[in-house]
Structure 1
Amino acid sequence: MKTKVALVTGGYTGEAEVSYKSSKFVYSQLDKDKYDIYLIDITPSGWFYKDEDDNQYPIEKDDFSLLLNNVKVTFDVAFIILHGTPGEDGRLQGYFDMIGLPYTSCNALTSSLTMNKGYTKAILADIPELYVAQSVLLFENHREQAVSLVESKLALPYFVKPNAGGSSIGMSKVKFAEELKGALDKAYDAENTGTQVLVEEFVSGREFSQGIFRNAKGELVVLPATEVRTTREFFDFEAKYIPGLTEEITPADLNQEQQYRAARIIKEIYIRLNCKGMVRVDFFLENDTDKFYFIEINTIPGQTAQSFIPQQVRAFGMKETDFYSELIEAALL
Structure 2
Amino acid sequence: MKNVAIIMGGYSSEYQISLTSGNVVYQNLNTSKYKGYRVHILKDKWVHVSDDNSEFPIDKSDFSITIQGEKVVFDVVFNAIHGTPGEDGLLQAYFELLHIPQTACDYYQAALTFNKRDTLSVLKPYGILTATSHYLNFGDEINVDEIVAKVGLPCFVKPNKSGSSFGITKVHHKADFLTAIETAYKEDNEIIIESFLKGTEVSVGVISYKGETKVLPITEIVSENDFFDYEAKYLGKSQEITPARLSKEVQLKVELVSKKAYEVLKMKGFSRSEFIIVNDEPYMLEMNTVPGLTNESILPQQAREAGISLPELFENAIEEVLK
- Structure 1 residue ranges, 4+ long, deviating more than 6 angstroms after superposition: none
Is contact 2:155–2:172 with CA below 8 Å preserved after alignment? yes
Letter in 1 for 2:304: R
Cα distance in structure 2, aligned partners of 1:148 and 1:98: 48
Residue in 2 aligned with 1:131? 129
Aligned residue type for 1:331? V
Task: List aligned pairs for 1:184-199, cutoff 5 A.
Answer: 184-190=181-187, 193=188, 195-199=189-193
1:224-267 CA-partner distances (Å, limit 9, x unpaired): 00000011000001111112x11110111122212221111111
Task: Using the TM superposition, give the Cα deviation of residue 147 of structure 1 relative to its aligned residue in structure 2, in angstroms.
Answer: 2.8
CA contact (8 A) 1:127 1:265 kept: no
Runs of 5+ unmatched residues, structure 2: none
SS of corresponding position for 1:103: coil
Contact 2:135 2:191 in 1 (8 A): yes
Q: Which structure 1 segments of 5+ residues have no match?
A: none
Q: Which amino acid aligns with 1:39?
A: R
How many residue pairs get matched? Answer: 323
Residue pair 1:210, 1:280 contacting (<8 A) in 2 also: yes
Q: Secondary structure at the match of 1:200?
A: strand
Q: Shift of the alpha carbon at 1:13?
A: 1.3
Partners of 1:63 and 1:136 in 2: CA distance: 42
- Structure 1 residues 146 and 7 mapped into 2: Cα distance closer, same or farther (>3 Å)? farther
- Looking at structure 1, the residues matched to 235 and 143 of structure 2 have their Cα atoms a distance apart, in angstroms, of 32
Q: Deviations over 1:170-212 (max 9, x none)?
A: 000001100111001100112xx3x100000000001000101
In structure 2, the residue matched to 1:299 is 289
- Alpha-carbon distance, 1:148 to partner: 4.6
Residue pairs, 1:60-209, within 5 angstroms? 60-128=59-127, 130-142=128-140, 144-190=141-187, 193=188, 195-209=189-203
Match of 1:321 in 2: 311
* Backbone CA RMSD of aligned residues: 1.1
- Corresponding letter in the other structure for 2:155: Y
Corresponding residue of 1:240? 233
Contact 1:138–1:146, Cα closer than 8 Å, also in 2: no
Partners of 1:155 and 1:98 lie apart in 2 by 46
- Mapping of residues 210-249 of structure 1, within 5 Å: 210-216=204-210, 218-243=211-236, 245-249=237-241
Counterparts of 1:314 and 1:152, CA distance in 2: 44
Match of 1:256 among 239, 248, 252: 248
TM-score, L = length of structure 1 = 0.95
Which TM-score applies when normalising by structure 2? 0.98
1:275-300 Cα offsets, whole Å, 9 max, x none, are 110100110111xx211110110000
Confirm or deny: 8 A CA contact 2:144 2:174 kept in the other structure.
no
- Find the aligned partners of 1:223 and 1:292 in 2 and give their Cα distance: 16
Question: What is the SS of the residue equivalent to 1:141?
Answer: coil
Note if contact 1:39-1:50 (Cα within 8 Å) is conserved in structure 2. yes
Alpha-carbon distance in 2 for matches of 1:204, 1:168: 18
How far apart are 1:106 and its partner, in Å?
A: 0.7
For residue 328 of structure 1, report the CA deviation from its aligned partner.
0.3
User: Identical aligned pairs, as a percentage?
Assistant: 38
Per-residue deviation, 1:149: 4.6
